[in-house]
Chain A
């Protein structure tokens, strides 16, 4: 992290996060006034976030959590805004000291954010300081998706993943990168897959920790791994799909509730950490409470519940049967991801599969849950693209 701040052009403006005290006070007052429902009528999580657990999380958010700790940590990374296609895009940009570093753009998903990648930036840009090899150095670009975090919120429709991918191409060009790679999970993987399908000049290859590699038509005969993939995918039309369904159709309606209630916003995101991390019954097994609240606070302070949920509405036609890709693709499958794809379908979809890795732990929020594994997989997966 000793790299000099990259030069900025007129198009790229430095940015520092600074939430006013009044907004932090307002959050704490709202949390103190939270009106909690009666406890759920079941003894488990089958009705969603349990009131007792939500109260515990919100209580720590009010009385124990320190936003300024997170904010100052975030501000140690150079951040910028640049207007692309009519929107200010926020991004972290850290150059490696190694002049041969490979530029890498990392894209988060929903309910993800730049928070997910903060623990990856040091090891990726400065591997030697983290027990790695200087040859594995990356320059790192971590943008906030349009409508997420400190990126501007679209006021018009049409921000599909393809449009976001085109914006990322422009961003990398604007930063002076002519040969670069891309990485992502969740919606970040959809954007990264769109980049892969687009094959813009300079894109060497991609790494995905979510694979959109289902066959367009699920065959009648399935291997056990394929059956598991189909069963985990079905959770999105069932128990785990309500939020996506709603955000794909009425993102504004629920957005008004989440914008006005920090307890509601916390529960909305915590539910996903609970159901999609590699835990033993509680999200807290997989993620620290501070990490979860960093992510939740970012949504709260930027009032982006509705604008982030719109990514589902904008991309209703997106499916887990993504396009077949011919550029170099590296993948890592995390065991508790939902869905979890089998190698066979991954190989069918990515004809130039340069790396296939299976992590021994971790779920859907791989970057947040297992940053060390993901760093190692990104290094290994993209190594052959370095010339």
Chain B
């Protein structure tokens, strides 16, 4: 590794959507050929009437307003060991803001955090205590959104955690920081705690996925892994494909906005909790913004690669038995349309030094979107004792 590759640089950027790509997207959306469809239920995947409505809304989507919303945040482009990384970086407003790294998952993006960010940065004007302020870093995973393509050597959670740590320390100058993650982001956050316990004030994980440890299992663990098996069988086909044939699937999803909308829309709908009026807690505009982000940046295929890397890299799984000493708060959110298996506390304790454990029947798989206030309070509470 040469000297230049070890440099970490961070420069402000104003990411936007390429107008020519948006025009082409509009043309494609007006010429979609739909499959005939098999009804209105979700039991075979996305129902045609639902997709038809979504595509009609996408054609009407105000991409300018969405870009203006993104433009309200401070964006940067970092180079870490030759890997380009896009990030939102907002200074906290308080006496001693604690740096907090937020890591999204699939099919998410940094946009998951748009509603959460003000609550974290500036608690004083959002019903909180300025002493709970965070300085927030919300990067786009390599191969996602405005970040560059992933490194050829793969995209394991360990590799991303390594990039994140250099970004936080060498790039942004935060020798001690906290981190939160969900979905793929929870796995990356967990590895940060393993690899850099001295730098981590603490971590918070939302509904982490944990591999089965060696037996014996507690009754709750037995029940959990039975649920995992059933969920994997019925709901895990997407991950099976991502981890084995990302290029084959990507050929279709990269070429068809309808295909992309079906693939991502099904998961966001299934994994979201539900609002009081029965709608997915993931707002329509944010779904359309997410689809546009994946489409315009051309990153759907590269976004599948973390699954492939996990399957193909030796030692990719987080192993139990040696919990990092980093204080770990875990929140189990619930209420997804299609429920995720929820790990019991004793399983998490095989992996983490669990200091706080909470379970809610709301929030779903995207708690930053569904319950930003609850998540902000959870993060404030979790990290308040760890600030010194």
Contacts and interface: CB of A to CB of B under 8 A. Distances in A.
A310 B38 contact: yes
Interface in A294-310: 303, 305-307, 310
Given A248-B237, A257-B263, A313-B44, A264 B252 contact: yes
A263 B251 contact: yes
B45 A251 contact: yes
A253 B45 contact: yes
Interface string A11-43: 000000000000000000000011111101100
B265 to A, nearest CB: 9
Does more than half of chain A's interface fall in helix, strand or loop, or is it mixed? helix
26 contacts: A35-B24, A41-B150, A47-B245, A50-B247, A54-B251, A155-B38, A242-B237, A248-B237, A249-B237, A250-B266, A252-B37, A254-B45, A254-B259, A255-B35, A256-B258, A258-B252, A259-B35, A260-B34, A260-B258, A261-B252, A261-B259, A266-B251, A268-B248, A271-B248, A303-B36, A306-B37
Given A47-B246, A257-B252, 10 more contacts: A41-B305, A46-B312, A242-B241, A245-B236, A250-B46, A250-B237, A253-B266, A259-B33, A260-B257, A303-B35
A286 interface: no
Nearest to A248: B237
Interface string A226-263: 00000000000011111101111111111111111101
B256 A261 contact: yes
Nearest to B37: A252
A49 interface: yes
A154 B37 CA distance: 10
Contacts of B312: 46
Q: How large is the interface on B (under 10, 10 to 19, 20 to 34, 35 or more residues)?
A: 35 or more
A155 B37 CA distance: 8
Contacts of B258: 256-257, 259-260
> In this complex, which of B35, B250, B251 has the most chain A Cβ atoms within 10 angstroms of its Cβ?
B251
Contacts of A36: 251, 254-255
Contacts, number: 188
A48 B28 CA distance: 25
B142 to A, nearest CB: 11
B126 to A, nearest CB: 38
Interface residues of A, number: 55
A267 B248 contact: yes
A199 to B, nearest CB: 32
Nearest to A313: B44
B58 interface: no
B256 A260 contact: yes
A153 B36 contact: yes
A51 interface: yes
A265 interface: yes
A49 B33 contact: no
Contacts of A248: 237
Interface string B297-330: 0101110010010001000000000000000000
